[in-house]
């Protein structure tokens, strides 16, 4: 039996899971599965089949229809507060450890599956999707990829069940795009390190129990003097100075964090001392890839609103969708979504099936999807006319949420720079 069947069935225990298992087993001979021994996947990872991914998508849709209704999404936006009971619900559904080892509670399903879950959650609520990714990709997957077996055993079960909340902190108020210029320091002391400094714009920061924190262990060595740490937020000296009031992604709690002589034991160094930049940069590729599914979900949500509206709304005696100018907008929204979707899933398939992580495609997928999502949500507002401009409809929330993806996880300008530099590397010496 394929790993995917076992793992998915654990998440979706019950009659529905049995049906799923039977259907996909019938549809696909074992030989059609790709077994890939990649350093970015759990041991014995088998890339999921199209049928498994479709089935997973349906399961996530069932979850979002039940748990992340439009009322929940609107209330999360209005209150600017994450519905914290959602973490354990996401955990029970199996969605918090999509890329993690099975022996710590993960599903070991890879990056296409993670993108599917991210897309569908973001379709229901952009801000719940962003917090989801900060937890399941930025924190859980970084621990999965770089953690020792002790660290994984200690932290992943709690994170994957949703009993604890994760985050990742690299940005600082003076070090965003130029993140390796960070000033937060980690000084060696007896038995560990003492962290001092602050971090800015940290998703889930106000709620997190465990944060992957990057700090300078040897400030004179610039990028070669950065180390990643696993910081428990209950440690003395840790604080969240404030929760940020944002234009969008409201309810995805974002914080400014302070570290006042926070002691972190040697056992909580993630990766190697002074090896943090490798952890950071490799993490960024996969982070950009999985996060690119966020704007996909927002584009789909824009179509979910605009398509029925433009077929129901009548002006001049017929549905507005019968006007060619309106059809043009709908066609542009649809093709932008489909092109972005193809880019994201094709890049994720390469990672899952061949173990190839192309920096320019991870950056390219989110660059393309993010800008298209802003355009699609603007078109959605325009198609709704006056109703697009009032908060009774979700169109303005979609625009406010979409814009974040041109800034967070590296701005569009930096993504273009990353793509250009990847080509420079390929062409060096030719
Ligand atoms: C809602 C939200 C959530 C976030 N979550 C996290 C998180 O969980 N963890 C975390 O560590 N960080 C997080 N961030 C931080 C985010 O990654 C940074 O905001 C982002 O990298 C940009 O950095 P900056 O804000 O300092 O902008 P700056 O670097 O100051 O950039 C300002 C402008 O200058 C442009 N610019 C800068 N350098 C160049 C250049 N060389 N060439 C061309 N243009 C350039 C930028 O593109 C941008 O338009 C989050 C941010 C937001 C808004």
Confidence of residue 8 (pLDDT cuts 50, 70, 90): low
Q: Is 203 near ligand 1, meaning CB less than 6 Å away?
A: yes
Output the residue whose Cα is nearest ligand 1's atom 30: 176
CATH code 1.10.540.10 region(s) in the chain? 50-164
- The pLDDT, as a whole number, for residue 256 is 98
Which listed CATH number (3.60.20.30, 3.50.50.100, 1.20.140.10, 3.40.50.261) goes with 277-427? 1.20.140.10
- The pLDDT, as a whole number, for residue 40 is 87
For residue 199, the ligand 1 atom closest to its alpha carbon is: 11
Output the residue whose Cα is nearest ligand 1's atom 44: 413
How many A from CA of 410 to the centre of ligand 1? 5
3 state SS of 258 = strand
Q: What are phi and psi of 388, to 5 degrees?
A: -75, -20
47-51 long-range contacts, CB within 8 A, separation 24+? 47/110, 47/112, 47/349, 47/352, 47/353, 48/4, 48/109, 48/110, 48/112, 48/113, 48/352, 49/2, 49/4, 49/24, 51/23, 51/24, 51/27
Q: What is the pLDDT of residues 33-50, one digit of tens each?
A: 444 546 889 888 999 999
Q: Say if residues 407 and 386 touch (Cβ distance below 8 Å).
A: no
Is the per-residue pLDDT at 22 higher than 60? no
Q: Is 254 near ligand 1, meaning CB less than 6 Å away?
A: yes
- The pLDDT, as a whole number, for residue 422 is 95
- Virtual torsion, Cα 65, 68, 73, 75, nearest 10 deg: 120
CATH code 2.40.110.10 region(s) in the chain? 169-273
> What is the Cα–Cα distance from 344 to 347, expressed in whole angstroms?
5
> What is the Cα–Cα distance from 326 to 380, expressed in whole angstroms?
10
Alpha helices in 134-203 (DSSP H): 142-146, 149-161
- The pLDDT, as a whole number, for residue 224 is 95
Q: Say if residues 248 and 401 touch (Cβ distance below 8 Å).
A: yes
Confidence of residue 29 (pLDDT cuts 50, 70, 90): very low
How many A from CA of 92 to the centre of ligand 1? 33
Q: Is 201 near ligand 1, meaning CB less than 6 Å away?
A: yes
Q: Is 176 near ligand 1, meaning CB less than 6 Å away?
A: yes
How many A from CA of 88 to the centre of ligand 1? 30
Q: What is the pLDDT of residues 161-216, one digit of tens each?
A: 999 999 999 999 999 999 999 999 999 999 999 999 999 999 999 999 999 999 99
The whole model's pTM is what? Answer: 0.93
Is the per-residue pLDDT at 154 higher than 50? yes
> What is the Cα–Cα distance from 390 to 273, expressed in whole angstroms?
51
CATH code 1.20.140.10 region(s) in the chain? 277-427
Q: Is 208 near ligand 1, meaning CB less than 6 Å away?
A: no
3 state SS of 156 = helix
Output the residue whose Cα is nearest ligand 1's atom 37: 177
- The pLDDT, as a whole number, for residue 14 is 36
- The pLDDT, as a whole number, for residue 10 is 45
Burial 236-263 (b: 16+ CB within 10 A, else e): eebebeeeeebebbbbbbbbbbbbeebb
Is 62 noted as a catalytic residue in this protein?
no
Provide the pairing of β-strand 238-243 with 254-265.
antiparallel
How many A from CA of 171 to the centre of ligand 1? 8
| pLDDT (mean) for 331-341 | 98
Q: Is 139 near ligand 1, meaning CB less than 6 Å away?
A: no
140, 141, 177, 367, best to mutate for ligand 1 pocket (most atoms within 8 Å of CB): 177
Confidence of residue 4 (pLDDT cuts 50, 70, 90): very low
How many A from CA of 382 to the centre of ligand 1? 29
Q: Is 205 near ligand 1, meaning CB less than 6 Å away?
A: no
Is the per-residue pLDDT at 359 higher than 70? yes
Pull the structure tokens for residue 311.
């077929």
Q: Say if residues 68 and 60 touch (Cβ distance below 8 Å).
A: no
> What is the Cα–Cα distance from 350 to 329, expressed in whole angstroms?
32
For residue 179, the ligand 1 atom closest to its alpha carbon is: 21
In the set 55, 120, 256, 287, the catalytic residue is: 287
> What is the homologous superfamily of the domain 50-164 according to CATH?
Acyl-CoA dehydrogenase/oxidase, N-terminal domain (1.10.540.10)
Is the per-residue pLDDT at 16 higher than 70? no
Q: Say if residues 101 and 42 touch (Cβ distance below 8 Å).
A: yes
> What is the Cα–Cα distance from 76 to 74, expressed in whole angstroms?
5
Q: Is 175 near ligand 1, meaning CB less than 6 Å away?
A: no
Q: What are phi and psi of 18, to 5 degrees?
A: -65, -40
How many A from CA of 176 to the centre of ligand 1? 5
**Crossing angle (nearest 10°) for helices 86-93 and 149-161:** 110
Q: What is the pLDDT of residues 240-288, one digit of tens each?
A: 999 999 999 999 999 999 999 999 999 999 999 999 999 998 889 999 9
The CA-CA-CA angle for residues 287, 293, 296, to 5°, reads 150
- The pLDDT, as a whole number, for residue 3 is 38
- The pLDDT, as a whole number, for residue 43 is 81
Task: Give the architecture (CATH level 2) of 169-273.
Answer: Beta Barrel (2.40)
User: Other CB atoms closer than 10 Å to residue 78's CB: what's the count?
Assistant: 12
Q: Is 168 near ligand 1, meaning CB less than 6 Å away?
A: yes
- Residue 203: which H helix or E strand, with range? strand 192-203
Q: Say if residues 229 and 186 touch (Cβ distance below 8 Å).
A: yes
């Amino acid at each position: 039996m394929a790993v995917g069947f076992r793992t998915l069935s654990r998440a979706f225990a019950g009659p529905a899971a049995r049906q799923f298992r039977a259907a996909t087993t019938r549809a696909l001979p074992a030989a059609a599965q790709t077994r890939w021994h990649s350093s970015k996947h759990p041991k014995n990872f088998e890339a999921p089949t199209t049928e498994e991914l479709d089935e997973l998508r349906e399961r996530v849709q069932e979850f979002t229809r039940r748990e992340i209704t439009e009322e929940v999404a609107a209330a999360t936006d209005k209150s600017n507060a994450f519905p914290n009971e959602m973490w354990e619900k996401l955990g029970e559904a199996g969605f918090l450890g999509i890329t993690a080892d099975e022996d710590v509670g993960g599903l070991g399903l890879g990056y296409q599956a993670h993108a599917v879950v991210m897309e569908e959650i973001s379709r229901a609520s952009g801000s719940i999707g962003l917090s989801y990714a900060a937890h399941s990709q930025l924190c859980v997957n970084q621990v999965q990829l770089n953690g020792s077996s002790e660290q994984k055993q200690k932290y992943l079960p709690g994170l994957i069940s949703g009993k604890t909340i994760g985050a990742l902190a690299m940005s600082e108020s003076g070090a965003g795009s130029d993140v390796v210029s960070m000033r937060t320091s980690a000084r060696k002391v007896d038995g560990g390190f003492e962290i001092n400094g602050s971090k800015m714009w940290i998703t889930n920061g106000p709620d997190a129990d465990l944060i992957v924190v990057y700090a300078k262990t040897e400030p004179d060595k610039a990028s070669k003097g950065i180390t990643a740490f696993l910081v428990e937020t209950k440690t003395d000296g840790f604080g969240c100075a404030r929760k940020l009031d944002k234009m969008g992604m409201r309810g995805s709690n974002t914080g400014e964090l302070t570290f006042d002589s926070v002691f972190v034991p040697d056992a909580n160094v993630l990766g190697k001392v002074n090896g943090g930049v490798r952890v950071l940069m490799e993490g960024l590729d996969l982070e950009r890839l999985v996060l690119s599914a966020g704007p996909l979900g927002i584009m789909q949500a824009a179509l979910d609103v605009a398509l029925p509206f433009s077929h129901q709304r009548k002006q001049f005696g017929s549905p507005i969708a019968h006007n060619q100018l309106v059809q043009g907008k709908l066609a542009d929204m649809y093709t932008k979504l489909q092109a972005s979707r193809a880019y994201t899933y094709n890049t994720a398939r390469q990672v899952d099936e061949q173990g190839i992580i192309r920096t320019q495609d991870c950056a390219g997928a989110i660059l393309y999807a993010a800008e298209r999502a802003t355009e699609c949500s603007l078109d959605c507002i325009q198609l709704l006319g006056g109703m697009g401009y009032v908060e009774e409809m979700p169109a303005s929330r979609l625009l406010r949420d979409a814009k974040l993806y041109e800034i967070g996880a590296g701005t569009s300008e930096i993504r273009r720079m990353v793509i250009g530099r990847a080509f420079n590397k390929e062409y060096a010496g030719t």
